[in-house]
Amino acid sequence: MKSFAPLVAVVSLVTGTPLMNAAEPSITSKSFGTTTNGKKVTLYTLSNSKGATATISNYGGIVTSLKIPDRNGNFSDIVLGFKTLSEYEAKSPYFGCLVGRYGNRIAAGKFTLDGKTYQLAINNKPNSLHGGLKGFDKVVWEATPLMTKQGPSLKLTYISKDGEEGYPGTLTVTATYTLTNKNELKLVYRAKTDKKTIINLTQHSYFNLAGQGTGDILDHLVTLKADRFTPVDKNLIPTGRIASVKGTPFDFRKPTTIGARINEKAEQLKIAKGYDHNWVAAKLSGQLGVVATVEDPKSGRVMEVLTTAPGFQFYTGNFLDGTLTGKGGKIYNFRNGFCIEPQHYPDSPNHKNFPTVVLKPGQTYKNTIIYRFSAK
């Protein structure tokens, strides 16, 4: 195990008021093995001044573990995942990963830019999903650990070649993960291109605030700051309509458990086997603001989600079916985790009424996501 100790001393001067269980922030690293095509992969563990830890793999930018205290100060790992790299490579349903170039679905894997049509791989019939066959979740990123005033941090960099997975333009991407001393997992994404292209980066952790592998998430209380959502067709592609949540099971403007209405006979719930939709963030796009709050009544853990993105996918683990065994031998059954993926709307390149996902040379793509934890 490698420790990035010299940097730690800098931080101890700036961590502020000492807390109970206060610890020295640190970053350590160890091998996570080698990919099937021979690339070495490292796991980095960020520990903040409150004793919380986030472990990140530079394969796929995957958050493999996130240990957060409950109301009694007991730490549990609250994200689903695997023990080994080979399991992530072989069968991960995007556990904890960095999604790109285009998070979510593109209908028939097709989009047009300046009159030219691009065809992406159809990896989720009949659509392209989460960047294609070898998206950003399956590449090895260059990693730079660094201690910041906010907390321990890991900067990931990847240069995606022009034409990679069918997307135009060489894209230079950075994703900086910081486990702040306020118990926030903060993700800052930046990208630049040398040709006009499309982009939509996000984070795909499956959370269970009671602890990963402890069962379903139906009793979690959810509040979504969204008046509208984008209904989908039978292939989970938005119809283009931006619909009001009022009077539907998609209205989470007041705290409601995930399970309260998930089995209702609403057409949209039937199509997705539960919630797997994009909500339109009520805040003005581009500004950082809270879009969602989730509380687990058992442990008292609370997660707020902040973003600059114009929307977010709320997915309730409807494709988990008990066939995957995760860390600690836990079996992941139906709805044993939920994701909140702040992002642009699915299939935006094919919907003129959705905010643009086009990135031009000279511009910088930006998305910030904060998962902020507390307990009550």
Asked about 204 being catalytic, the answer comes back as yes
Q: How far is CA 227 from the centre of its chain?
A: 22
Q: Is 341 a catalytic residue?
A: yes
CB count within 10 Å of CB 14 equals 14
Minimal distance, residue 85 CB to ligand GLA, in Å: 19
CA distance 141 to 343: 21
Q: Are 212 and 81 in contact (CB under 8 A)?
A: yes
Query: Going residue by residue from 223 to 242, which x/- string records binding to ligand GLA, judged by CB under 6 A?
Result: -------------x------
Span 104-133, contacts to ligand GLA by CB under 6 A: 104, 129
Residue number with CB closer to ligand GLA (164 or 341): 341
Token readout for 317 is 């683990």
Catalytic residue among 130, 165, 341, 351: 341
Question: Cα separation of 100 and 202, whole Å?
Answer: 7
Count of residues that bind ligand GLA according to CB under 6 A: 11
* Identified catalytic residue from 130, 204, 220, 277: 204
Element (H, E) at 111: strand 110-113
Among 107-115, 224-232, 312-320, 354-362, the segment contacting ligand GLA (CB under 6 A):
312-320
Q: Tell which one of 185, 339, 359, 369 touches ligand GLA (CB under 6 A).
A: 339
CB of 315 to ligand GLA, least distance (A): 4
Quote the CA–CA distance of 149 and 138 in Å, as a whole number: 31
- Minimal CB distance residue for ligand GLA: 315
The beta strand positions in 184-250, using DSSP E, are 184-193, 197-198, 202-203, 221-224, 228-230, 243-244
94 binds ligand GLA (CB under 6 A): yes
CB of 194 or CB of 321, closer to ligand GLA: 321
Nearer to ligand GLA, 131 or 151 (CB): 131
Can you say how many angstroms the Cα of residue 147 is from the centroid of all Cα atoms in its chain?
Answer: 22
Both ends of the chain: CA-CA distance in Å? 35
Q: In Å, how far are 17, 291, 297 from 375, measured between CA atoms?
A: 19, 18, 10
Piece of the chain touching ligand GLA by CB under 6 A; list 26-34, 71-79, 283-291, 311-319: 311-319
So which residues are the catalytic ones?
204, 341
Residues in contact with ligand GLA by the rule CB under 6 A = 93-94, 104, 129, 236, 276, 313, 315, 319, 339, 341
